[in-house]
Amino acid sequence: MLLSKLCCERTKEAPGDAKIKSHILLARAGYIKQVSNGIYSMTMPCQKMSQKIQKIIREEMDACDGQEVLFPVVMPRELWETSGRYQSIGSEMVRFKDRSNHDMLLGMTHEEAAVHMANHIVSSYTQLPMMIYQIQTKFRDEARARGGLIRVREFTMKDAYSFHNTKEDLEDYYMQMHKAYQNIFRRIGLKRFIDVKSDSGMMGGSIAHEFMLLTEVGEDSIVLCNHCDYRANMEVATSVLDKPSFEDTKLTLVDTGADKTIEEVAQRLNVDAKQTAKAVVFAVKGDQDQVVIAFVRGDLEVNEAKLKKAIKKDVVAYDGGATNSVVCGNIGPKDLDKSILVVYDKSLEGMCGMVVGANKEGYHYTGFNFSRDIENASFVDISKVKAGDKCPICGGDLRIENGIEIGNIFQLGTKYTASMGMTVTGPDGQLFNPIMGCYGIGVGRAIASIAQESNDDNGLIIPITVAPWQVHMCVLRQDDPIVQEKATKLYNDLQAQGIDVLLDDRNCGAGIKFNDADLMGMPIRVVVSPKSLQNDEIEITIRKNKESYKVAYENSINEIKNLIAKLEEEYK
């Protein structure tokens, strides 16, 4: 490809909304161009990079006996009603009426379409296990699109669906896919990626893992143990609770004046925050009159994902509800309105001598005993892990890092096959619902992750396995006929060898060419100049470590091929 003709503009300045490295660099290098909020066009370098990533994904999926198929982007309401998700998914799913007034939607994921395809085709256990996958455009109407390709509304995604006879077979296959995902991330050049246990969220199912790229700009919090390999998404992470023991005293109403926060009350009563209980008020999503109060120990925070799972309902912040509020004053566990759904965190189980709200303006109780002073309370884990908490596996210190989700895998169970009536005949002649797994990777997210992790002050550093062009040739003094002849020959010869080459054939200075080459980030830079040609040499520079050396023009094809092979080694 000739750079002079490439539809891709390099700029000094990034768009105003670009705050993170990957967004700034992909925009400045001309890889992406924004069309709307969270919607981008990809220019040739970005699309080539996308295709190289897709090729690696295909190879790994095919190695897991995947069958590549294609599901539609637009689906009818009826298909999504079979699983119940037409109702349960919120405004992140685009719904519209077609010209015949039928309700349609844009797919964000394709469990329903996968079951629709496999249903009836798969009728016997002998046909399983089976995995189908696609690489397709998806649209998710994100409220907070951000970070260039990190969190977009439209994206290209590989999504795979497996069907199994037994839970054990799913678990085996799940591990195979887990390995394939590790292969993919390694092969596309990511370094600091890990897998963490995660919440299965809107997918349903039980066991799930997310693959995360650890990076400061990640918006997910990941809990990691400093001693063992325990790691989990904040949403499901647990820790060993230290349970201090306090004296079991009499329940006493005390005046706490205008003090409201845990800090204020603890200070006034001269107790540690651990000796208090905090109430956090929510409402069931869609019904502000259905109040949910979560109690956690004063030094802890409520983990909303855990709370939702515990009550099997989606919750949102409580806005005060209808006319007659059922909560008032300093909220506490005693004598709460019976209509309120109350959840107690494990941290409060068996605790006595505690400070709690008295449901009365200006007052708290001291000496509250969670075994004595409330009835029928059940205690579940709904609190957030903090840095320094103890690992639930080894007791070591936990730390928290930020991460970007780069892939996820789920053991779905029979949620979709049961609701959609997909059955196969087992060896005993009995019908059963196959057990499913599903597995996703966003291609654009992968591009952004690579850009986020692999760069320097001068621009992108694209791994050779996914680089749009392996070689970026800079021709200095394009107007010198000998230079032009030698450069053109090398360009053609490299391409004849199957090497992707971007040739900077512009009539401009070396500085501009080198800056553009650094910014665009191809792994190998080749300089053909009158000076080096005087010694019958060309200059090779490795982008990632700036190592430069000269090789004889005669040997340049072999030298470059060997260098490519050497660079590729790293990602095998």
Which of 440, 400, 209 has its CA nearest to residue 301?
400
| SS3 category, 280 | strand
Q: Toward a second copy, which CB reaches closer, 155 or 553?
A: 155
Question: Per-residue contact track with a second copy, 6 to 25, x per CB under 8 A?
Answer: xxxx----------------
Min dist. Cβ of residue 7 to a second copy (A): 5
The secondary structure of 73-107 as a DSSP string is SEEEHHHHHTTTHHHHS-TTS-EEE-TT--EEEE-
Q: Which of residues 307-326 bind a second copy (CB under 8 A)?
A: none
Look up residue 78 and give its two tokens: 């009826």
Distance of alpha carbon 29 from alpha carbon 454, whole angstroms: 14
Count CB neighbours of 499 within 10 A: 17
By CB under 8 A, tell whether 202 contacts a second copy: no
**CA dihedral sign of residues 318, 319, 325, 329:** positive
Q: Toward a second copy, which CB reaches closer, 116 or 334?
A: 116
Strands 252-255 and 435-442: unpaired
Which residue in 42, 56, 208, 277 binds a second copy (CB under 8 A)? Answer: 42
Distance of alpha carbon 476 from alpha carbon 509, whole angstroms: 7
Distance of alpha carbon 414 from alpha carbon 421, whole angstroms: 10
By CB under 8 A, tell whether 96 contacts a second copy: yes
By CB under 8 A, tell whether 352 contacts a second copy: no
Which span sits near a second copy by CB under 8 A: 137-145, 215-223, 485-493, 543-551?
137-145
Max intra-chain CA distance, the chain? 98
Which span sits near a second copy by CB under 8 A: 89-97, 191-199, 375-383, 493-501?
89-97
Q: Residue holding tokens 């709460």?
A: 336
Q: Toward a second copy, which CB reaches closer, 296 or 517?
A: 517
Which residue in 14, 27, 29, 40 binds a second copy (CB under 8 A)? Answer: 40
The secondary structure of 29-53 as a DSSP string is TTSEEEEETTEEEE-HHHHHHHHHH
Question: Per-residue contact track with a second copy, 105 to 134, x per CB under 8 A?
Answer: -x------x--xxx-xxx---xx--x-x-x
Min dist. Cβ of residue 488 to a second copy (A): 16
Which residue in 83, 156, 256, 529 binds a second copy (CB under 8 A)? Answer: 156
Q: Toward a second copy, which CB reaches closer, 92 or 287?
A: 92
- Tell me the Ramachandran region of residue 133: left when phi exceeds 0, alpha when psi lies from -120 to 50, beta otherwise: beta
By CB under 8 A, tell whether 95 contacts a second copy: yes
Q: Where does this chain bind a second copy (CB under 8 A)?
A: 1, 4-9, 30, 33, 35-37, 39-44, 46-48, 50-51, 65, 67-76, 79, 91-92, 94-96, 98-100, 102, 104, 106, 113, 116-118, 120-122, 126-127, 130, 132, 134, 136-137, 139, 141, 143, 153-154, 156
